[in-house]
C-alpha cells in the first residue's frame, strides 16, 4: 500500500509518499516548504501568515510529489494527515484538504497525532523497526516530554514541562541575546565558540524527584545576568549561549538517565526539532554508552516538522490494524499523545 502524508501543524508545509510492502516501509519521497523567511520579520510564528502559506503551498506540493514519482492519486491507498496537536488554523488547512481529497478520490484518511510522528522519527531515520520497550525524549518548539513506550501503541508520559518547551526556551533566550529567529540553531552555533562555565545558570528541578521540567526560571536568570553585564560583546553572547545550553542539557540528560535506570529500558530515542542540536545528542549518547543503553537520535531532515514521520506512523497503524484514536471529523489542537494509546 502507498501512503500520502500531509503535515501542516505549525509553520512547515510538508508532504510525503511512503510505500508499505509486506515487510518494509520505504519512504519514496518527501518535501518540506519552510515558512521561516515569512515569519522571521516578526520574530516568531504568526498564525495567519502560516495559514495562508499552507493554503498556497499544499496543493501544488501534493501535485509535485506525485509527479516526481510518476504517480497519481490512483496509486495512493491511504491519506495520513496531522490532526493535532498544533496551531488550530494551521492544522485546519491540512486536515480539510485531506478530507476533501479523500471525498473526491474515495481514498480513506487516517488522522495522526503529531507527537506520535515525532516519536517514531528516530526509527525512520535509522531505517529500523521500532524497538520496544523504549524511552522517548521528545524536545520541540511546543513540547518537552519523556514517554515510556512499554509496548507498541502504549504511551505513558512520565514527564513534561511545566512552562516553556525546550525549543521555546532556546528561541526566547536567543531573542533576549538579539539573535536571529529561530533561535535554536543560532544558540547552538554560538555555544560552540563560548565558555559553558562562565555563567552559573540554574539546573531547574534536576533533583525534584520526578521527571517534570521547568525552563522559565532559567530564561529569567539569563535575562538578569544580561542586565548586569556592562559591555556585551560577541564573545559575551557566545558564553551566554554556551552556559545556557549546558544548563538545559544537564537537566535533560540527568532526568533521562534517572528514568532509564528506574524503568530498566535498554533503548533511548531522541526526537523533535531540538534533536538537531548535536551537543544535546552527543551528551545523551555518551550517557547511554556509560549505561549500556542503545541511543537512537533523529537526523535533521526528520527532526523538524515533516510529513514523512506522519506517513510512517500511519503505515505502522495500518500494519498493526490499530486505527486512529481520534475518529472525529475535526482537528484536535490539544490532542495528548497518551490519548493515542490503544492498550
Ligand atoms: O519540532 P519542531 O520543528 O516544531 C515543533 O513541533 O515545535 O521544532 C522547532 C524547534 C524550534 O524551537 C527551534 O529553535 C528548535 O526546534 N531547534 C533547535 C535546533 N534546531 C531547531 N534548538 C536547539 N538547537 C538546535 N540546533
Ligand atoms: Zn513538531
Query: Are the C-beta atoms of 310 and 176 separated by less than 8 Å?
Result: no
CA–CA distances in Å: residue 333 to residues 22, 164, 326: 33, 18, 12
- Helix axes of 234-263 and 166-176: crossing angle, nearest 10 degrees: 170
Instruction: Please report which confidence band the pLDDT of residue 44 belongs to, taking 50, 70 and 90 as the band edges.
Output: confident
Ligand 2 centroid distance, CA of 334 (Å) = 13
Ligand 1 centroid distance, CA of 332 (Å) = 22
Ligand 1, residues at Cβ distance < 6 Å: 10, 140-142, 167-168, 170-171, 182-185, 188, 272-274, 276-277, 304-305
| Ligand sitting nearest the alpha carbon of 168 | 1
Which of 43, 121, 167 should be mutated for ligand 1, with most atoms under 8 A from CB? Answer: 167
Which of 141, 175, 337 should be mutated for ligand 1, with most atoms under 8 A from CB? Answer: 141
155: DSSP letter: E
Ligand 2 centroid distance, CA of 195 (Å) = 30
| Ligand sitting nearest the alpha carbon of 171 | 1
pLDDT of residue 139: 98
Q: What is the pLDDT of residues 235-293, one digit of tens each?
A: 999 999 999 999 999 999 999 999 999 999 999 999 999 999 999 999 999 999 999 99
Q: What is the pLDDT of residues 45-87, one digit of tens each?
A: 899 999 999 999 999 999 999 999 999 999 999 999 999 999 9
Query: Are the C-beta atoms of 227 and 177 separated by less than 8 Å?
Result: no
Q: Which ligand 1 atom minimizes the distance to the CA of 118?
A: 1
pLDDT of residue 23: 81
Ligand 2 centroid distance, CA of 225 (Å) = 31
Which secondary structure element, helix H or strand E, spans residue 14, and what is its range? Answer: strand 12-20
Ligand 1 centroid distance, CA of 183 (Å) = 8
Q: What is the pLDDT of residues 16-32, one digit of tens each?
A: 999 998 888 999 999 99
Q: What is the pLDDT of residues 169-198, one digit of tens each?
A: 999 999 999 998 889 999 999 999 999 999
Query: Are the C-beta atoms of 61 and 13 separated by less than 8 Å?
Result: yes
User: For all residues of the chain together, what is the average pLDDT?
Assistant: 96
Average pLDDT (213-239) is 96
Name the closest-CA residue to atom 16, ligand 1. 273
Q: Is 19 helix (H, G, I), strand (E, B) or coil?
A: strand
Name the closest-CA residue to atom 7, ligand 1. 141
Ligand 2 centroid distance, CA of 47 (Å) = 15
pLDDT of residue 251: 97
pLDDT of residue 331: 95
From CA 292, how far away is CA 256, in angstroms rounded? 14
From CA 334, how far away is CA 127, in angstroms rounded? 30
The C-alpha cell at 81 is 494527515
Instruction: Please list the residues that pair with 242 across neighbouring strands.
Output: none
Instruction: Examine the pLDDT at 98 and tell me if it is beyond 90.
Output: yes
pLDDT of residue 68: 98
Average pLDDT (134-139) is 98
Cα–chain-centroid distance for residue 337? 13
pLDDT of residue 275: 98
Ligand 1 centroid distance, CA of 108 (Å) = 32
Q: What is the pLDDT of residues 287-337, one digit of tens each?
A: 999 999 999 999 999 999 999 999 999 999 999 999 877 777 899 999 999
Instruction: Please report which confidence band the pLDDT of residue 342 belongs to, taking 50, 70 and 90 as the band edges.
Output: confident
From CA 94, how far away is CA 5, in angstroms rounded? 10
Name the closest-CA residue to atom 22, ligand 1. 184
Ligand 1 centroid distance, CA of 140 (Å) = 5
**Taking the alpha carbons of 153, 284, 250, 192 in that order, is the dihedral positive or negative?**
negative
Ligand 1 centroid distance, CA of 273 (Å) = 4
Task: Tell me the longest C-alpha to C-alpha distance in the chain.
Answer: 66
pLDDT of residue 343: 65
| Ligand sitting nearest the alpha carbon of 32 | 1
pLDDT of residue 215: 94
Give the predicted TM-score (pTM) of the model: 0.96
Q: What is the pLDDT of residues 264-277, one digit of tens each?
A: 999 999 999 999 99
Q: Which ligand 1 atom minimizes the distance to the CA of 143?
A: 7
Query: Are the C-beta atoms of 317 and 323 separated by less than 8 Å?
Result: yes
Q: Which ligand 1 atom minimizes the distance to the CA of 142?
A: 7
| Ligand sitting nearest the alpha carbon of 272 | 1
Name the closest-CA residue to atom 23, ligand 1. 184
Amino acid at each position: 500500500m502507498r501512503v500520502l502524508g500531509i503535515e501542516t501543524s505549525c509553520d512547515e508545509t510538508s508532504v510525503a509518499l511512503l510505500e508499505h510492502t509486506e515487510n518494509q516501509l520505504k519512504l519514496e519521497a518527501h518535501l518540506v516548504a519552510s515558512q521561516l523567511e515569512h515569519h522571521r520579520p516578526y520574530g516568531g510564528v504568526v498564525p495567519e501568515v502560516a495559514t495562508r502559506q499552507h493554503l498556497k503551498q499544499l496543493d501544488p506540493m501534493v501535485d509535485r510529489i506525485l509527479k516526481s514519482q510518476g504517480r497519481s492519486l490512483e496509486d495512493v491507498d491511504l491519506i495520513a494527515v496531522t490532526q493535532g496537536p498544533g496551531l488550530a488554523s494551521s492544522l485546519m488547512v491540512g486536515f480539510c484538504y485531506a478530507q476533501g481529497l479523500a471525498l473526491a478520490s474515495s481514498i480513506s484518511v487516517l488522522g495522526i497525532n503529531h507527537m506520535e510522528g515525532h516519536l517514531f522519527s528516530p526509527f525512520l531515520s535509522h531505517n529500523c523497526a521500532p524497538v520496544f520497550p523504549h524511552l522517548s525524549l521528545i524536545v520541540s518548539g511546543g513540547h518537552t516530554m519523556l514517554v515510556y513506550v512499554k509496548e507498541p501503541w502504549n504511551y505513558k508520559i512520565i514527564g513534561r514541562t511545566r512552562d516553556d518547551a525546550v525549543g521555546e526556551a532556546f528561541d526566547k533566550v536567543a531573542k533576549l541575546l538579539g539573535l536571529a529567529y529561530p533561535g535554536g540553531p543560532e544558540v547552538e552555533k554560538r555555544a560552540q565558540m563560548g565558555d559553558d562555565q562562565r555563567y552559573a545558570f540554574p539546573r531547574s528541578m534536576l533533583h525534584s524527584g520526578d521527571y517534570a521540567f521547568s525552563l522559565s526560571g532559567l530564561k529569567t536568570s539569563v535575562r538578569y545576568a544580561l542586565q548586569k553585564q556592562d559591555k556585551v560583546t560577541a564573545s559575551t553572547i557566545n558564553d551566554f549561549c554556551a552556559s545556557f545550553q549546558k544548563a538545559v542539557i544537564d537537566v535533560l540528560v540527568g532526568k533521562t538517565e534517572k528514568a532509564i535506570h528506574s524503568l530498566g529500558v535498554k533503548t533511548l530515542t531522541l526526537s523533535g526539532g531540538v534533536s538537531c542540536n548535536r551537543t544535546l545528542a552527543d551528551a545523551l549518547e555518551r550517557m547511554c554508552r556509560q549505561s549500556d543503553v542503545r541511543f537512537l537520535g533523529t537526523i535533521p531532515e526528520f527532526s523538524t516538522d515533516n510529513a514523512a514521520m506522519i506517513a510512517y506512523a500511519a503505515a505502522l497503524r495500518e500494519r498493526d490494524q490499530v486505527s486512529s484514536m481520534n475518529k472525529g471529523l475535526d482537528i484536535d489542537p490539544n490532542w495528548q499523545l497518551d490519548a493515542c494509546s490503544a492498550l
